[in-house]
């Protein structure tokens, strides 16, 4: 730290009011979108036992190996971790509360996640996800609907990320593929970098994900999982694709898409954009049929995705769509003793009518109050002088358009602002 002032932790950002206006606009759209698809919200703790993430995400993943905020609770010696993602917690909660006892569940969550990554544009140490999990559903229709619902949201947000799709098949096929991969990489040991050597026996699939240019040719020619897939998994994948085509969703099959978390099987997908630089994945997910059983629940299939809110909002902003709710409906300016008392009553009436209202505080002349009214981005200044107060009227001055100011009774003023506000939306 360069001076004595305490700053926020690197990679963890404050969201100031200008930003939260936009976030709230986004959250309102997202909430309504999830409601329309029949998903219900779940809120789980931000802290979980470290073992949950190790078991769910996988010991030999970047997240578990080097990105988790893990510490020992000194009061009882337990190892705890700030959640790096939401799927593990969701599955833990579903098992713990036996939520699948009467059939599948459609759940969503949102909130901060924590990963100790190198911060850069679009990559933070505290970031926010909206996650969607469909638990207990095995069919390709669920995979397709998860993707279709994303496409629906993109339309509403005026953005157009592209869809990359792959299948990871099932356990047995992956096992065979893994053996072939290990044999292949072992026979080319001299080309492997340190990371790859380390992963050779623990997680050879992740070697395919390497960004090292020296490994690209080797990876291109590596045995393909696609060649090992069994009929059932292939049919599942074909069905997902047919459903997507039927819904007019364009996609690109990317056999290199393996995802950074170990729990996936069959369908995996990522929505990517080239408008955000290096961190272009705005949403990602897939099927994870083995995870519930692996974490101690009765075997049940599942699929889901999570979107990175910072990245999505950056993309929406690049597209020019404004999500922020505008300033308040009214800013009441008042001067004079009688006016002050009446101004408080006006504020109360406007608020009771559902209008967002700032009542000027701190005195000052009309001119300086009008400046503050304008700076607040309010739609109307509601002017209350002693004259108006005596007549129990207000003067309405539009601040965002060129219409004339008018003096009216309170009920009419309320009606007028309400009508103007609905027209605008």
| Residue 266 burial (10 A CB sphere; 0-12, 13-18, 19+) | buried
Q: Which stretch binds ligand HAM (CB under 6 A): 23-31, 42-50, 163-171, 278-286?
A: 278-286
Whose Cβ is closer to ligand HAM: residue 264's or residue 342's?
264
CA distances from 336 to 357, 364, 366, 374, 413 (A): 20, 10, 10, 21, 21
Instruction: Look at the alpha carbons of 120, 125, 127, 129 in this order and tell me if their dihedral is positive or negative.
Output: positive
Q: Give min distance, CB of 209 to ligand HAM, in A.
A: 12
Among 25, 58, 86, 136, binds ligand HAM (CB under 6 A): 86
Whose Cβ is closer to ligand HAM: residue 278's or residue 402's?
278
Strands of the sheet containing 357-359, edge to edge, are 357-359, 330-334, 380-384, 393-398, 406-409
Does 304 sit near ligand HAM (CB under 6 A)? yes
Among 82, 244, 284, 314, binds ligand HAM (CB under 6 A): 284
Whose Cβ is closer to ligand HAM: residue 240's or residue 282's?
282
Nearest-angstrom CA–CA distance, 260 and 262: 7
Total residues contacting ligand HAM (rule CB under 6 A)?
Answer: 28
Pair of tokens at residue 274: 């080239």
Whose Cβ is closer to ligand HAM: residue 295's or residue 359's?
295
Instruction: Look at the alpha carbons of 220, 221, 222, 225 in this order and tell me if their dihedral is positive or negative.
Output: positive
Q: Give min distance, CB of 259 to ligand HAM, in A.
A: 7
* Nearest one of 229, 219, 215 to 177, comparing CA atoms: 229
Q: Give min distance, CB of 114 to ligand HAM, in A.
A: 9
Instruction: Look at the alpha carbons of 416, 19, 161, 56 in this order and tell me if their dihedral is positive or negative.
Output: negative
Whose Cβ is closer to ligand HAM: residue 297's or residue 308's?
308
Among 21, 133, 143, 289, binds ligand HAM (CB under 6 A): 133
| Residue 52 burial (10 A CB sphere; 0-12, 13-18, 19+) | middle
Q: Give min distance, CB of 407 to ligand HAM, in A.
A: 52
Whose Cβ is closer to ligand HAM: residue 169's or residue 286's?
286
Does 305 sit near ligand HAM (CB under 6 A)? yes
Angle at 134 between CA 131 and CA 135, to 5 degrees: 120
Nearest-angstrom CA–CA distance, 357 and 331: 6
Does 54 sit near ligand HAM (CB under 6 A)? no
Angle at 280 between CA 278 and CA 285, to 5 degrees: 135
Q: Which stretch binds ligand HAM (CB under 6 A): 299-307, 313-321, 359-367, 409-417?
A: 299-307
Subset of 310-339 contacting ligand HAM (CB under 6 A): 310-311
What residue is closest to ligand HAM based on CB?
308
Does 129 sit near ligand HAM (CB under 6 A)? yes
Among 308, 327, 328, 385, binds ligand HAM (CB under 6 A): 308
Q: Give min distance, CB of 83 to ligand HAM, in A.
A: 10
Please name the residues in contact with 67: beta carbons below 8 A apart, sequence gap of 6 or more. Answer: 84, 115, 116, 117
Pair of tokens at residue 384: 């209350």
Q: Give min distance, CB of 350 to ligand HAM, in A.
A: 40
CA distances from 375 to 73, 119, 262, 372, 379 (A): 48, 34, 51, 5, 11
Nearest-angstrom CA–CA distance, 10 and 119: 8
Tokens 């995400």 -> residue: 57
Does 110 sit near ligand HAM (CB under 6 A)? no
Whose Cβ is closer to ligand HAM: residue 85's or residue 388's?
85
* Nearest one of 175, 286, 170 to 223, comparing CA atoms: 175
DSSP H helices, 133-205, are 140-157, 171-186, 194-199
Does 269 sit near ligand HAM (CB under 6 A)? no
Does 176 sit near ligand HAM (CB under 6 A)? no
Helices first, then strands: H and E counts in the chain: 15, 16
Q: Give min distance, CB of 192 to ligand HAM, in A.
A: 25
Q: Give min distance, CB of 142 to ligand HAM, in A.
A: 12
Binding mask 215-254 for ligand HAM (x = CB under 6 A): ----------------------------------------
Does 282 sit near ligand HAM (CB under 6 A)? yes
Q: Which positions touch ligand HAM (CB under 6 A)? A: 85-87, 115, 117, 122-124, 127, 129, 131, 133, 260-261, 281-286, 288, 304-308, 310-311
């Amino acid at each position: 730290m360069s001076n004595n002032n305490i700053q926020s932790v690197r990679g963890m950002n404050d969201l100031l009011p200008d930003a939260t206006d936009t976030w709230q606009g986004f959250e309102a759209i997202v909430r309504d979108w999830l409601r329309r698809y029949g998903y219900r919200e779940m809120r789980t703790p931000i802290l979980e036992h470290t073992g949950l993430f190790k078991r769910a995400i996988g010991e030999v993943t970047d997240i578990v190996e080097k990105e988790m905020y893990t510490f020992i609770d000194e009061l009882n010696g337990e190892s705890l971790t700030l959640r790096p993602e939401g799927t593990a917690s969701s599955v833990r909660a579903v098992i713990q509360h036996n939520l699948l006892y009467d059939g599948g569940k459609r759940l969503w969550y949102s909130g901060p996640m924590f990963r100790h990554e190198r911060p850069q544009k679009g990559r933070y140490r505290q970031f926010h996800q909206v996650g969607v999990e469909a638990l207990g559903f095995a069919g390709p229709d669920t995979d397709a609907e998860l993707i279709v619902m994303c496409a629906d949201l993109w339309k509403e947000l005026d953005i157009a990320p592209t869809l990359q799709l792959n299948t990871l098949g099932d356990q047995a096929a992956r096992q065979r593929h893994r053996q072939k991969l290990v044999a292949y990489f072992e026979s080319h040991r001299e080309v492997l970098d340190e990371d790859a050597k380390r992963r050779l026996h623990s997680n050879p699939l992740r070697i395919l994900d390497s960004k090292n240019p020296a490994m690209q040719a080797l990876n291109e020619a590596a045995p393909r999982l696609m060649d090992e897939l069994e009929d059932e998994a292939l049919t599942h994948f074909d069905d997902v694709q047919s459903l997507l085509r039927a819904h007019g969703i364009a996609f690109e099959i990317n056999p290199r898409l393996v995802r950074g978390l170990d729990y996936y099987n069959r369908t995996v997908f990522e929505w990517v954009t080239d408008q955000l630089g290096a961190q272009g994945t705005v949403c990602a997910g897939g099927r994870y049929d083995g995870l519930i059983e692996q974490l101690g629940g009765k075997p049940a299939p599942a699929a889901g995705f999570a979107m990175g809110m910072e990245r999505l909002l950056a993309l929406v902003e690049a597209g020019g769509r404004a999500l922020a709710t505008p300033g308040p409906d009214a800013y009441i300016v008042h001067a004079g003793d009688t006016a002050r008392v009446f101004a408080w009553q006006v504020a109360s009436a406007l608020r009771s009518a559902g209008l967002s209202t700032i009542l000027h505080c701190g005195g000052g002349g009309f001119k300086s109050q009008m400046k503050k009214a304008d700076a607040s981005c309010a739609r109307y200044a509601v002017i209350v002088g002693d004259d108006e107060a005596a007549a129990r009227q207000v003067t309405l001055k539009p601040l965002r358009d060129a219409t004339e100011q008018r003096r009216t009774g309170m009920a009419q003023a309320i009606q007028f602002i309400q009508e103007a506000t609905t027209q605008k939306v």
